[in-house]
Amino acid sequence: MTEIPPADQGVPTTGDAGGVDGRLPTQGGDEADGRDHEAAYDVITTPVLVIGAGAAGARVAIELAESGLEPLVVGKRDYGDAHTTWAAGGINAALGSLDPEDNWPIHAADTLNEGHHLNDPEAVELTAKHMPDRIRELDEWGMSFARTDDGKINQRYFGAQSYRRTCFVGDRTGEVMLETLIDRAQALEIPYRENVMITRLLSDGTRVDGAVGFDMETGDGLLFRTDHVVLAAGGFSAAYRRHSSRDDENNGDAQALALEAGARLLDTEFVQFHPTGMVGERYGDEWDGRLVTEAVRGEGGRLYNAAGERFMERYSPDQMELDARDVVARAIAEEVREGRGTEHGGVYLDISHRDPEYIHERLPTMVDRFEGLGVDITAEPMEIGPTAHYTMGGVDIDFRTGETGVEGLYAVGEAVAGVHGANRLGGNSLAETVAIGKLVGDHVSEQVTAGDDAPTVTDGQRALAEREFRALADLAASDGNVAPRALLEDLGELLWNHAGILRDEEGLREGLERLAELRARTANLRVDGDRTSRSFEYAVDLSMSLIVAEVLLRTALERTESRGAHYRTDYPETDPAWRQNLIVTADESGLSLQRRGVAEPSEPVRAALEEGYELDYHHLE
Ligand SMILES: Cc1cc2nc3c(=O)[nH]c(=O)nc-3n(C[C@H](O)[C@H](O)[C@H](O)COP(=O)(O)OP(=O)(O)OC[C@H]3O[C@@H](n4cnc5c(N)ncnc54)[C@H](O)[C@@H]3O)c2cc1C
């Protein structure tokens, strides 16, 4: 329904106070400036709004629909185009297809060990326990998992896992998984709106009444009125730009939206640097940082420095290339720093000792991609280096329900923190999306009452939305001389240089100073006119990324120890006193940081931890 908004009602609540520095859409949204920012906007009412159409959003929506509700799913790309499709290597579940000794407590123990015991044990256990059922369900829904000769779902090794636990579809696991979920969602006739960018949640800081955004194809404003919003909008490692395995869309929208709405963020200092990103100097800018799947190492890929040494023998003689991602990434960074890297600043990853037919069968995407770049990976090595890949930090939730502490706001998937602790076990993020997605969908469906179907829109809610629309209009009209894209690139360099693999106090403080300078430059943005332009999208992205960049730098500075993916050269040891989560909240006066102790795992997981399972790498030799 398109409506002409009524005269401005003022700003009745506090949630839109713009207390977090750098949020561009609130800047210049001055109601008294006399300019005509008013435009038609659509009002859409729905019992549940799911923001994000990756695996997490899709799985929540399926559960809601199966409970008889009709949620609305929105995503800022075409249907089926989410980062989930990029996941190549696989999804973890202790099925024991090849290693019958495997079970959920060992899966949980591996996850806690890899997360350096900063994970939320309940989140880990829920994921590990529910995954075998979620895999069987995906199988029933038609996901074409690789099979063993006797028809079981096949499982491969992945880094730092005690057993073969990673289910896969060649190296297209995420793509096939999202196709399967979308088929299911379409069979349930779940409505989906493509190319919608949410820019703000309607919140007074204690409860959420909907969300505001725009249609990226028409530029029209959109006001979604609902009592239940599920944030499934992904992580923030694309803030590292060219030093990232991610595309433009993983900018931290979920975390920025949640923080502004009054929710807490958790452990944002932990960014996983995947050891094997493509080295752009060699393969070209568009490939810079793009992932070479861990499955290459899972299938026996070996790492060599420029001198031809298999250097992991020095860093991890037992687990070698399949040690944890942080260990392998730091080893590569160290080799390059000490002059044993390639001329392009990487090292070599080689799988050519394996049979070409096997490589074609197990790694078809990698074979094709490199073939297109003139490299035959069945005969020669790839050139790789670490790349920002996954943000373990995110929205702080209760994993049984998805609740954020702000009434009506739930979160799930890569948007949240807790399952992965200080470092993510490969194959666990796809697992989290469906294991926790189902639980959250289940809980939200119980919260929806009959009257929620068509919630009314109050004057106060309209006023909040209109303030956002004016701010967006102002942003679109920015006629300075700084391209938003250029600032995003500068922000990526800043994060890589000051909050990269190796961090210290001086560098982090300097990073914060440079962030303030970068933020000052946003006063002079140039946006090419309308709200369908790429420059407008980048300007909105920038507003989100600036928030998460500040949170990231502040928390990385606060954590004076090294743990998992967070490595401080000035505090190289893990400090047991720091086995605490860092919580971030925001209000008008800025960000506040607090510590919270970590709970202990349950008895079966403690037993698995004590047993001390570990991958015997030499299985693979
Ligand atoms: C190259 C690569 C390889 C990977 N390999 C693996 C692997 O082998 N195994 C594994 O477990 N994990 C892997 N991962 C991680 C895994 O893919 C993700 O963690 C997981 O898919 C996240 O799913 P999600 O649904 O939470 O988010 P996403 O799939 O990122 O979906 C986010 C959704 O939110 C939407 N959105 C974002 N912002 C907004 C906004 N402001 N308004 C509206 N919509 C918005 C997006 O359009 C999208 O629809 C890999 C990731 C990458 C990039």
Q: What is the pLDDT of residue 501?
A: 92
pLDDT band at 15 (very low <50, low <70, confident <90, very high): very low
Query: Which residues make Cβ contacts (< 8 Å) with residue 409, sequence separation at least 6?
Result: 201, 203, 207, 208, 229, 231, 258, 261, 263, 403
Task: State whether residue 23 is helix, strand or coil.
Answer: coil
pLDDT band at 616 (very low <50, low <70, confident <90, very high): low
Residues 238, 248: contact at Cβ < 8 Å?
A: yes
Q: What is the pLDDT of residue 529?
A: 77
Active site (catalytic) residues: 274, 297
Burial of 513 (0-12, 13-18, 19+ CB in 10 A): exposed
Per-residue pLDDT tens over the stretch 353-388: 999 999 999 999 999 999 999 999 999 999 999 999
Per-residue pLDDT tens over the stretch 264-286: 999 999 999 999 999 978 898 88
Q: What is the pLDDT of residue 242?
A: 79
Q: Which of 51, 77, 84, 172 to probe ligand 1 with, by most ligand atoms within 8 A of CB? A: 84
pLDDT for 76 beyond 50: yes
pLDDT for 120 beyond 90: yes
Beta-strand pair 208-215/221-225: antiparallel
- Residue whose CA is closest, atom 33 of ligand 1? 52
d(CA 315, CA 321): 10
Per-residue pLDDT tens over the stretch 556-593: 999 999 999 999 999 999 999 999 999 999 988 899 99
Q: What is the pLDDT of residue 451?
A: 67
Tell me the DSSP string of 148-179. -TTSPBPEE--TT-SS--EE-STT-HHHHHHH
Q: Lowest mean pLDDT: which of 22-31, 353-362, 607-616?
A: 22-31
Domains of the chain (ranges plus CATH)?
A: 274-386 (3.90.700.10)
Q: What percent of the chain has pLDDT over 90?
A: 81
Q: Which helix (H) or strand (E) is 339 found in, with range?
A: none
Tokens of 182: 């979308």
pLDDT for 215 beyond 70: yes
The mean predicted confidence, pLDDT, of the chain is 91
Choose among 30, 20, 84: nearest CA to 52. 84
Does the beta carbon of 430 sit less than 6 angstroms from any atom of ligand 1?
A: yes
Q: How far is the CA of 252 from the centre of ligand 1 (A)?
A: 11
Does the beta carbon of 245 sit less than 6 angstroms from any atom of ligand 1?
A: yes
Choose among 316, 273, 276, 310: nearest CA to 614. 316
Segments in 67-193 forming alpha helices (H): 104-114, 121-140, 173-187
Q: What percent of the chain has pLDDT over 70?
A: 92
Q: How far is the CA of 249 from the centre of ligand 1 (A)?
A: 9
Does the beta carbon of 253 sit less than 6 angstroms from any atom of ligand 1?
A: yes
pLDDT band at 40 (very low <50, low <70, confident <90, very high): confident
Q: What is the pTM of this model?
A: 0.91
Tokens of 197: 């960018």
Instruction: Return the ∠ at Cα 595 (arms to 589 and 601), rounded to 5°.
Output: 145
Q: How far is the CA of 83 from the centre of ligand 1 (A)?
A: 4
Q: What is the pLDDT of residue 11?
A: 24
Query: Which residues make Cβ contacts (< 8 Å) with residue 142, sequence separation at least 6?
Result: 180, 183
Give pairs for 103-107: CB < 8 Å, separation 24+.
Answer: 103/608, 104/128, 104/129, 104/131, 104/132, 105/604, 105/605, 105/607, 105/608, 106/162, 106/163, 106/608, 106/613, 107/131, 107/165
